[in-house]
Chains A and B, each alone.
Chain A
Amino acid sequence: MKELQFFHFGLMPYPNIPPPEDYESTWVTLSNKHYDPVVGHRLYNEYLDQAVLAEKLGYDGTCVNEHHQNAYGTMPDPNVMASHIVARTEKIRIGIIGNALPLHENPLRVAESVAMLDVISGGRIISGFVRGTGMEYHSLRANPAHSRERFWEAHDLIMKAWTEDGPFEWRGKHFDLPYVNPWPKPYQQPHPPIWLPGQGSMETISEAAKRRYPFMMVFAPLAFTKFNYDMYRRAAEEEGYEPAPEQLAFCTGTYVAETDEIAHREAKEHIMWLFHRGLKVPDYHFFPPGYTSGKSLRGMLMGKEKFNIKNHVDLTYEELIEQQYVIVGSPETVVEKLKIYTEELGAGILVGAGMQVGDMPNWKVVKNMTLFAEEVMPHFRPPGNKPAWERGVPVPGSPESLGGVPAAQPEPVGSTA
């Protein structure tokens, strides 16, 4: 048996929006006149209860993320959500996957917030760092042409702020800070595990592999996930090591029910909400100029052709199932499909296990999460079906999980004086 860690993850969508033909994009421009805070109050609290339930059901972790001005996921501040979950749980690991670094005027604020959460929770935080989707750059007007540079400079600054004593001076291209000296510093030493969720750009994958950061593919077909894992493995090989399964994560929605037939009947409409409505985004919102390099864009366009990858809104339910964008079925079916990831792809982390998608009502989410925990997880765990945090299994991305090898840090982008 190859083990798999299970991270619960709900996107916290706002489902009550007009039919997709009535608007341009579920992001950036869909009017917030459709947002009813009374409905939002109920939804937020259901979603947060689901995250708390994840601990009771023995999930290894629960995750939150950051997106702006959209109905797909209403978590503009992931640290607020993480704080709530920290307060209501005892043991479960909480993945912030992640804070969108280039969107922040001052990355020290991220260093501070995540360190606060890590100290309050007694070291339960996984700190994901992302660039944010292209849509975020339209919404917040951060310059997409600076995105990559700002990401790595902010990353280097935060890592140094967490691992070296302050005050020190940071003199970079994008950030210039005379006194870097955050109080508190993180609880976990040398720092909380770093994860890099991505959409499959060569640059991100190779930088993740260089630092041994777990890399996560998001809503991609199985074949494309494999392609990107292979790229990670090659990059790791160049660094002289073989990646552990805990370095390869995939974010895929799952729905389990008593039988395949019931599962499809219960899940289909909500999965279609996610792909046809939540992800209704024109290319120009997805890829603002400069967000990706010309070289990466070429690779992506050719990859799309090669793997016949369609835009999310053009995928049929059958294609979503067939290409494993989502996994739906009886426990047996779901176990069998997850085994492709563990046995053939060598993945070690599933994010999105039993997730709420689209306009899925609370009862289905609770049922799905429960069945998943009781009928699917045991197939990927030692007898007893205990979560990683009860078995003393190190957090993926921590030095212990990487065989005691601390994540390597190439020269920081900024200089310090």
Chain B
Amino acid sequence: MTQAIETPGVDAEMVDVAGAQVAVRRRGSGRPLLYLHGAGFTGRWLRIHEALSAGADVIAPEHPGFGASPDREEIEGFDDLVLHYDDLRARFGLEEPFDLVGYSLGGWIAADYAVTYPEKLRSLTLITPAGLEPPIVDFFAMEPEQVFATLFNDFTNVGEVMVDPNDIDVAVHMYEEASTVAKLAWNPRYDRKLARRLRRVSCPTLIVGAENDRLLAGEQSDRYAELIPGAKLVRIPGTGHAIPIEQPEATAQAILEFNGGLA
């Protein structure tokens, strides 16, 4: 078992990406690693970021319509997000192939990026990625408490992302982020075409699966690993869908071992 580490506060910097204002947190040294978050857990530098920053220069932007990044009308779907992240890549001067990590919704975006620009990636890591199949539950039809109960298998670290949904500011912010998710993935809640496109991914790929994912069927990680040529699958014991919160250090270690960040 890896040790929990001290997580410093890291302020977001607002960065202009081809006209979009994007909140980005960045810390660490080593090769650049772009980390794409999921449908929530925004607004702060998390333990997963800090653990990754021990072996990489972690660049953690917030998607348009999440955290402090304002929503953009121009972003209508995943194709727009792929272009947005390629603009962001250029803005940060990542001219050499870089390491891309995506969690859940961010995993879906990362997979789309990898099938569109396979040559631009040094490695790809997908943590409980969405996109290949619809979720097994309707997460748009849940009370906030149910959402947490669905996302987490191990509640030990839930405090890192726990919020008070009765606070109006929190409720409005959560609703706005959910609205961005709806805009992208209300219907359908997966990409029928993704399965046949994943063959295009050509960089070393790691899939990080959960032991008991109650949001996305665990087999979805297996399928990702099958469909991406040469992909490796690891499962973090004891985890649910919220892997990066439940086991941040173990997750980071698996990623850094895979992409050579620990070398």
Measured CB to CB, the residues of A under 8 A from B are 28, 137-138, 141-146, 282-285, 287-290, 294, 297-298, 301-302
Contacts and interface: CB of A to CB of B under 8 A. Distances in A.
B175 A282 contact: no
| Tier of interface size on chain B | 10 to 19
A175 to B, nearest CB: 15
B172 A289 contact: no
A284 B182 CA distance: 13
A80 B233 CA distance: 55
A289 B182 contact: yes
Contacts of A283: 143
B187 interface: yes
A289 B141 contact: no
B141 A285 contact: yes
Given A284-B141, A289-B181, A290-B179, A297 B171 contact: yes
A282 B182 contact: no
A383 to B, nearest CB: 52
B186 A141 contact: yes
A28 B141 CA distance: 10
Interface of B: 138, 140-143, 168, 171-173, 175-176, 178-183, 186-187
Contacts of B179: 144-145, 289-290, 294
A366 B140 CA distance: 42
B182 A144 contact: yes
Contacts, number: 59
Contact of B182 (A285, A290, A297, A302): A290
B140 A138 contact: yes
Given A284-B141, A294-B173, A298-B172, 8 more contacts: A142-B187, A143-B186, A143-B187, A145-B182, A145-B183, A145-B186, A289-B140, A290-B182
Contact of A294 (B138, B141, B175): B175
Contacts of B176: 294
A143 B182 contact: yes
A289 B180 CA distance: 8
A154 B143 CA distance: 32
A141 B171 contact: no
A289 B175 contact: yes
B172 A301 contact: yes
Give 3 closest A-B pairs by Cβ, nearest first. Answer: A289-B178, A290-B179, A145-B183
A297 B187 CA distance: 23
B172 A282 contact: no
Contact of A301 (B138, B140, B168, B186): B168
Given A138-B141, A284-B143, A289-B178, A297 B183 contact: no
Nearest to B166: A301
Contacts of A282: 141, 143
Contact of A141 (B178, B180, B183, B187): B187
Contacts of B175: 287, 289, 294, 297
Contacts of A297: 171-172, 175
Contacts of A289: 140, 175, 178-179, 181-182, 186
22 contacts: A138-B141, A141-B186, A142-B187, A143-B182, A143-B186, A145-B179, A145-B180, A145-B182, A282-B141, A284-B141, A287-B175, A288-B140, A289-B175, A289-B178, A289-B181, A289-B182, A289-B186, A290-B178, A297-B171, A301-B168, A301-B171, A301-B172
A367 B172 CA distance: 46
A82 B180 CA distance: 37
A311 B176 CA distance: 22
Given A141-B187, A142-B187, A284 B168 contact: no
Contacts of B140: 138, 284, 288-289
A73 to B, nearest CB: 20
B151 to A, nearest CB: 16
Contacts of A284: 140-143
Most buried by B among A144, A285, A289: A289
Contacts of B138: 138
Contacts of A294: 172-173, 175-176, 179
B183 A290 contact: yes
A142 B186 CA distance: 8
Contacts of B143: 282-284
A302 B168 contact: yes
Most buried by A among B138, B175, B176: B175
A146 B73 CA distance: 11
Nearest to B188: A141
Nearest to A290: B179
Contacts of B141: 28, 138, 282, 284-285
B245 to A, nearest CB: 21
B186 A298 contact: no
A138 B172 CA distance: 20
Contacts of B187: 141-143
Nearest to B144: A284
A285 B171 CA distance: 16
Contacts of B171: 297, 301
Contacts of A287: 175
A314 to B, nearest CB: 16
A298 to B, nearest CB: 5
Contacts of B183: 143, 145-146, 290
A281 to B, nearest CB: 11
A74 to B, nearest CB: 22
A1 B126 CA distance: 71
Nearest to A146: B183
A146 to B, nearest CB: 7
A145 B183 CA distance: 5
